[in-house]
Amino acid sequence: MFRFLSILFSAALVVLFSGCKSTVENNDRTALELCRYMMQQTGGKFDGAMAVEPIHADDGFALKIADRQVAFYKFNTKYKKARDKIEYVDKNGFIYIYGFKYSAISRGSFIMVDYETNPLKDKLLEAFNSF
């Protein structure tokens, strides 16, 4: 009987966690690390710091890639508001900044914004998703 309950419990856990999104644990990485990595992978150039207040991020920067600005934000996922912001991006594929809607994608504690129309979109996605 105990073995049956053990198997049943294990099966329930598998079913329960199979629907959960696996998250990348990179909260210990910095925006500077991402910046250097993305410049190296895409040939982009640093284009300045981004205001973090509108989206409540911890840090932000922009790169000029293929003559277009792409923004990156770092969130501290130890905080519920940050996790909620990342979940919103995961669910909707966009974020509002100063009332303007921008395409966005998350990777762990980071969000990449306004990449969708960039000519190097595929290269951007590949680099961002491998960080």
Number of domains the chain contains: 1
**What pLDDT was estimated at residue 1?**
52
Q: In which domain, by residue range, is 118 found?
A: 2-129
Mean pLDDT confidence for 80-93: 97
Indicate if the pLDDT at residue 54 is higher than 70.
Answer: yes
Give me the CATH number covering residue 72.
Answer: 3.40.1000
Secondary structure class of 48 (helix, strand, coil): strand
